[in-house]
Amino acid sequence: MARRSWWPGARPEQLVLVQNFNAKIGGYATALGLLPAEISAINDLCDTFVGVVNATDQRRASMQSMVAWRDEILFGEPEGGPAPEPPAFPAVTFPAATLGTVPQFFSVRDRIVSAKGYTLAIGEDLGIVGPEMSQLNPDNVAPSLKPTTSAGYWVNLSGSMQGMDAMRVEYAPKGGNFTTVAFLTNTPGGFQITPANPNQPEMGHIRAVFIKKNAEFGNYSADYPVTVS
């Protein structure tokens, strides 16, 4: 039976895969013929991926707090009242990173699956073999998304494409109707919302449906509340 790609499209799923791989690769050193120095280098590579992804997510969360602080200063009440202190960005210790961490990880994966002692069971345990593909039932398919917002009325979506060609994203302002705002062929991906009142924060909802062979496939996702500014 055919298998899906082993490398997920969504960053959170990639993070889980690398963390699982990092925790288990040492246990297969003998079977795969990997020397202690090679295991150490692989661990460093995985730590780099995990470190920079987590650092970025932490800074993104801090930036969202900064946007809320900005809006409180600009529009908060009572007028003339004392301003709150700005949020502090967390101190981040970056790992010793080298460029091309993901291609390097792909190369490690290729070496492992070519090793004499490699087995399918090892690949599945390390997460470097894609799941078997089965016939999808549209009744059971819907996007599962994680929306985040950033300055400039941007919405960023992460979540698995589940092997689909694209995803149509719709937005509805509070009390309004859904309209198409983006077509994504990969995740994570982002798009900009045009607010009803420029320069004002706006609350609304995001939803999406998959596209396969130029037609809708499956069900709409849940409605996800967002506040853009």
pLDDT tens string 176-218: 999 999 999 988 888 999 888 888 899 999 999 999 888 999 9
Three-state secondary structure call for residue 108:
helix
pLDDT tens digits, residue range 84-100?
A: 888 887 776 666 778 89
Give the Å distances, CA to CA, from 63 to 86, 90, 148, 172. 11, 11, 11, 24
What's the angle, vertex CA 105, arms to CA 104 and CA 110, rounded to 5? 95
Strands 146-150 and 154-158: antiparallel
| Mean per-residue pLDDT of the chain | 88
Model pLDDT, residue 134 = 59
Phi, psi of 155 (to 5 degrees): -120, 130
pTM of the prediction?
Answer: 0.54
Task: Look at residue 94 in the predicted model and tell me its pLDDT.
Answer: 62
- What contacts 1, CB < 8 A, 6 or more positions away? 132, 133, 134
- Widest pairwise Cα distance in the chain: 72
Alpha-carbon distance 52 to 95, whole Å?
A: 7
Instruction: Tell the CATH topology of 138-228.
Output: Immunoglobulin-like (2.60.40)
Spans of the chain below 50 pLDDT: 1
Give domain limits for the chain.
Answer: 11-126, 138-228
Tokens of 122: 């090892």
